[in-house]
Structure 1
Amino acid sequence: MRRLFGSVRAKATLGATVVVAIALVAAGTAVLLSLRSNLIVQAGTQAERTAREVAADLAGGTPYDELSLDDDQPVQVVDGSGLLVAVSEHLERISGTGVDTVRPVSPAAAGRDDHGGEDRGDDDSPEPGEIGDEVEYSEGSATIDGDGADYRFAAVEVSVEDKGDLTVYAGSPLSAEQSAVGTALTVMLIGFPLLLAVVSGVTWLVTRRALRPVEGIRTEMAAITASEDLARRVPVPATHDEVARLARTTNETLAALEASVERQRRFVADASHELRSPIASLRTQLEVGAAHPGLLDVAGAVEDTVRLQRLAADLLLLARLDAGEGPGDARFDLGALVREEAAGRTGVTADAEAVEVTGSRGQLARLLANLLDNAGRHARARVSVTLRREGSWAVLGVADDGAGVPVEERERIFERFVRLDDARSRDDGGAGLGLAIARDVALRHGGTLTVREAPGGGALFELGLPVGRSARGAGVG
């Protein structure tokens, strides 16, 4: 049960049903009130019509006992003193008119001058022979010939020459209003639940169909998680809605995750392969030295140890970069760093102006050292380093006079453990990580690292770094 009402489909169905129920109750209440109001107005109009007809007869001089009073409707004629002077036949009980009596006074008493005839000082009273324009309405009940009912009463004033001011009360039954309202209420009580059931059913089916692709995506994602097969993809529905976009985004995420895992696997495999060679070489030399001390190649062992140390340091730096290590916010002179790294290197010349950048001095020193090492391995005689400022960028160039880099290989050389065919030997200490580290460091600092042909032949590596702003604001994570 908890799982059922915790689903999106159940929540959507419940929400739609509640909203429709509130709307139906509000609309039904408004309809009932409007219907009742209209019917009450109609009953009041009918009562007023009857009262004015009786008032017209009185204004015309018709005696009380000759008034044409409808036996089916309660009618009362009250004089200025509040005495009942005329009433419809068979009226047994009445309330709501202010005069509860149903038996009129005698004609002699009703005709006395002190009961009417005199001006009571009411400025709103009609002139003799006139019927008042104002009508007062009230609701009450009456019993006629044993049948009791609710009525809408209308009170009309009339002034008669020899009778004074009279008030005519006439009632119109509210049974039609009560019957219509009751019928409408019954229809609503029966129809509303049926309509709500239809709304709930339709919403349940529509949401089920709309969420079916989501369930397919969830099922496939569960299968991918269980099988750990990142090559699988979730189904994309043939629609253009949010669910289809979710499926496409999920597949893009799976593709990126698959590529990342594959790169990680290749990295681990290549790292294991690169580490195996110097370790095996070092072990062999040490075993030979242990058996034959005179044959121990100390220089070779030291060289393998240094190469192993460099490789371990490169792998550690790559791991830190992959883990999101930031470049820092230190400001320093990149030109001074260039001159320091170029000093003492054979065949390397430096022409660097003072340019301040923000970032990690240690990471940029490693970047520059890797570029110089790469250029030194491929140069025939010389390597030149330049640093200049171009607008808001510091541009560092490292050029050699070697064979250069083929156009089709200029992006591949920045991949990890990638070395061109003519640089496969490990004797020079290269493991194919230097340029990969250099580009990663450049990107971490919000910069770029590219390679092209040098003006005098060979390869020219160009590093672009933003000047005077934090690399954290460059959008590189």
Structure 2
Amino acid sequence: MADPTRPGPLRAARRRTAAILHHLTRHPRIAALVKRLAPRSVRTRTTLAACASVAVVLLVASAAVLLLLRANLERTVETGAREQAQAIARLATDDHLTAQLPLDHGTDFIQVTDADGKVIAASQNLAGHPALAPTNTHDGHSTYNLGALGDEHHQRVTTVTTDTPTGPVTIHVGASLRTADTAEDLTTAALAALSAVLLLTVGALTWRATGRALRPVEAIRAEVAAIGDRDLDRRVPEPRSDDEIARLAHTMNAMLDRLEAAGARQRRFIADASHELRSPLAVLRTQLEVALTHPDPGVRTDLVAGALQDTERLQSLAADLLLLARLDATGHDRPDELVDLTELVHTTVHARGPQPHPVSLHTPDEITLVGNRLWLGRLLTNLLDNAQRHARHRVTVRLSTDGATGRAVLDVSNDGLRIDPADRERIFERFTRLDDARSRDDGGTGLGLPIARDIATIHGGTLTVQDTSDGTTFRARLSVVVPGAVPPRP
């Protein structure tokens, strides 16, 4: 009895093969060769995968067809041989058996032996030959040495034992499998030829279809590779089909649109910042040079005071530029600090001290949101500075909650001149000043409203301007925290 713990020969062979492959792949030269020969393109890998899949299916299907064909042919031959053996058995039972027996179509030989193994009847081709003896027995089927027939080929030997008036006899009928072998060979050749043609067809069609499918991808890759930092106006070709590649091209073009817009905005910002910095620096240098050479102490004092004002303006402009850089770097990452907006509005308004125009404040009991307290205070400060510059008599700050959307609404209104509808978006561009506010003497840098809008956007809100019956209102909508809810994190 075999030891169940001992691995079988097939498993042992698999382990040896795996060990050899592992040893070969660890060899540097062989590993490099395998890596070099491995297909790298998607087109080649797809074609090989399709051919391999079809080859496996064809191999399994061909093996099944050949097995069924072989079994059917052998069953037919065996049935004919058994019918002839049964016919001879009836002759032996009726004691009509002759020494020489005729062969039917498809039968190679007939031999009848008695209980002592003596040949008592046979076909003509076995006349005078001793009794056939099995040379091997496997799975219940005996193999006979048929070299005496002078014609080596596969045969199916059917053995039948019957009783006769003179005692039991054994009848051996050998049926030729030549027809079955020929049919199997022809079928194998036909299946091999058809499989080869089918594999070549599948490989060619897959190679062509994959090439056509990947051609737009290659065009997109080539176009993206050719786009430099100065060619952001170029776009990748979009296929006419409505598939994944077309959507990829559309997404790439949308990304290029955003990059072009960001590049243009950055270049415009740098140009505007250079212009804004150049003017106060030039004035500051002129004032200092004059103060250095002027003999009148009183004039020098005035010049130094003017230089100090320009220095403060430069400091304010630099702080605004740094804040814009931080806001641009923050992007869509929303701060996660819990802020009491009502208390922040009260603190910011009252901390400003005396103002050119009185501020009327209207706030509810409590509105809480998630954000950055410093930035939200800067948003309100910028809106108040803008309102104070353009108001005639009063400024109004109103904080409320929009019942439809559940957002906090911060309105900063002034009773000054209304803004032309064509300028309501332009005022949020950086370094933009309208005609009635171009003077730099009022302290404006042209960055207050853009900073306020960026802060509102980072907090998941919006900042818009609209006309009211008595002036202009800047409205910021911000997301609030539901009572009892956990503050969301970015």
TM-score range, shorter chain: 0.7 to 0.9
C-alpha deviation, 1:175, in angstroms: 1.3
Cα distance change on mapping 1:4 and 1:212 into 2, 3 Å: farther
CA distance in 1, matches of 2:242, 2:424: 40
Deviation, 1:352, is 2.1
**C-alpha deviations, 1:200-232, integer Å up to 9, x for none?**
23322222222222222222222223x731111
CA distance in 2, matches of 1:139, 1:267: 97
Equivalent residue in structure 2 for 1:449, among 444, 463, 467: 463
Instruction: Determine the structure 2 residue equivalent to 1:120.
Output: none
Q: Are positions 1:46 and 2:46 aligned together?
A: no
TM superposition shift of 1:406: 2.4
Shift of 1:188: 4.1
Structure 1 residues 297-376: aligned runs within 5 Å: 297-324=303-330, 326-343=333-350, 344-346=353-355, 347-353=358-364, 354-376=366-388
Q: Is it true that 1:255 corresponds to 2:261 in the alignment? A: no
Alpha-carbon RMSD? 2.9
Cα–Cα, structure 1 residues 3 and 53, in superposed 2: closer, same or farther, change >3 Å? closer
Give me the whole-angstrom Cα distance separating, in 1, the residues matched to 2:47 and 2:470: 73
Secondary structure of the corresponding residue to residue 316 of structure 2: helix
Structure 2 counterpart of 1:463: 476
Asked whether the equivalents of residues 135 and 144 of structure 2 are also in contact (C-alpha less than 8 Å), the reply is no
Are the counterparts in 2 of residues 445 and 474 from structure 1 also a CA contact under 8 Å? no
Percent identity, aligned pairs only? 46
Q: Structure 2: which amino acid aligns with 1:287?
A: E
Of 363-372 and 19-28, the range deviating more from structure 2: 19-28
Mapped to 2, the partners of 1:290 and 1:192 lie a distance apart of: 98
Matched, 1:168 2:171: yes
Q: Deviations over 1:392-420 (max 9, x none)?
A: 43221111111122233222222222222
CA distance in 2 between partners of 1:85 and 1:321 (Å): 112
Tell me the distance in 2 between the aligned counterparts of 1:251 and 1:213. Answer: 14
- Is there any run of 5+ residues in structure 2 with no aligned partner, and where? 1-34
2:63 aligned residue: 29
**Residue number among 382, 402, 408 corresponding to 1:394 in the alignment:** 408
Q: Which amino acid aligns with 1:153?
A: V
Query: Which shifted more, 68-77 or 435-444?
Result: 68-77
**Are 1:412 and 2:412 matched, yes or no?**
no
Larger deviation, residues 309-318 vs 423-432: 423-432
Map 1:12-411; keep pairs closer than 5 Å.
12-65=46-99, 68=102, 73-79=108-114, 84-91=119-126, 92=129, 140=144, 142-143=146-147, 145-160=149-164, 162-225=165-228, 228-292=230-294, 294=297, 295-296=299-300, 297-324=303-330, 326-343=333-350, 344-346=353-355, 347-353=358-364, 354-391=366-403, 392-411=406-425
Structure 1, unmatched stretches of 5+, are 101-135
Which structure 2 residues correspond to residues 430-449 of structure 1 after superposition, within 5 A? 430-449=444-463
SS of corresponding position for 1:323: helix
CA spacing shift, 1:467–1:81, aligned 2, 3 Å: farther
**Superposed displacement of residue 383, structure 1:** 0.3
- Alpha-carbon distance in 1 for matches of 2:136, 2:347: 118
Equivalent position SS for 1:74: strand
Q: What secondary structure sits across from 1:405 in the alignment?
A: coil
Change (3 A) 1:277 1:99: closer
What letter corresponds to residue 264 of structure 2 in structure 1?
E
Q: What corresponds to 1:123 in structure 2?
A: none
Aligned length: 437
Contact 1:54-1:69 within 8 A present in 2 as well:
no
Q: Normalization by structure 1: what TM-score?
A: 0.83
Greater C-alpha radius of gyration: 1
Partner SS for 1:279: helix
How far off is 1:140 after superposition? Answer: 4.6
Cα distance in 2 for residues equivalent to 1:290 and 1:472: 58
Q: Which residue number in structure 2 is paired with residue 421 of structure 1?
A: 435
